[in-house]
Structure 1
């Protein structure tokens, strides 16, 4: 099924973002990446600019920016050649999903008080990776299948309206519940007032990241 409103991209899957959306995201992510890079390079006597969470956030934003650039370049390639450039397409998919799950890893670590109330250890990263890496692989595989499978050419439903998509969404919701539970525990155990305020305010705001699809 074609999407006639997308012009030269009419043959693209309905699951894809159009060029205007890519330009907008590219601008936003580039700005955030530049800000994050400046923050990492800035020297300060009152703050640890290369904090582990800040480094992870830099990787997250950088991956999103490069992934969006890859999407944009792939779109331009498609305009001139009539087909995807496989390397750009896969790089965009991998980086886009990797950015989201890196962000979720950061939030799950914060909810457990890592880098805020207690130090971060390598085993903490491995613990989150055991859950998020399989979910990352499943999401990328599902999206690639959704855009190229023959059965998907006759539907306008999102790829996340499939059985596997529903499972991924349910796991995301379960991670949200786990995040909120750990956040409450960290808030209860913390005695420092500014840190308690951080858990109570920003911690709840960050929970919205779990409601976004990859």
Structure 2
């Protein structure tokens, strides 16, 4: 009986493929590194929240992707801008949940789910020193950029980060404006694309501070 059991165990051992550790070692055990947060889930939940939102008119709050690409390549700029983006979107979700139809018992409250998800996304943003950039953005009105007559496509990364922060600040100051809420809810559909970049941690074990 014992020999048969040993033979069975041997077959199992030989049948188990050997995998190389793709994570980190902790106490001689391989700990696989999962993503800090699956941004595909953000896209799916956002789609549920904004699927009935009609495309909003007016000026965009988030910069065009071509312009934002310059920001996402700079870890310090991308991190600081992401925190403000998350803050605005979370506030608008709280406001719009109050006015949305009551979710029937048993149904998923996608608004609330996304509000909690944004908290988790905030924890995936690298911790950087943003005070100087925020101060510069606070003293650099959008009209200043317009007076300089620099086309957006020719702005440097820091100029674009300041412009983005100013647009977010202006939206925050008009948070109760239905048009601002509609614009944010419309742009919610592509929020996950703005998260990707140098300022967003790729995995849970990837911690770094400024």
Q: TM-score range by the shorter chain?
A: 0.3 to 0.5
Larger relative CO (CA 8 A, sep 6+): 1 or 2? 2
TM-score by length of 2: 0.32
Choose 1 or 2 for highest CA Rg: 2
TM-score by length of 1: 0.32
Comparing both structures, which one devotes a greater share of its residues to helix?
A: 1
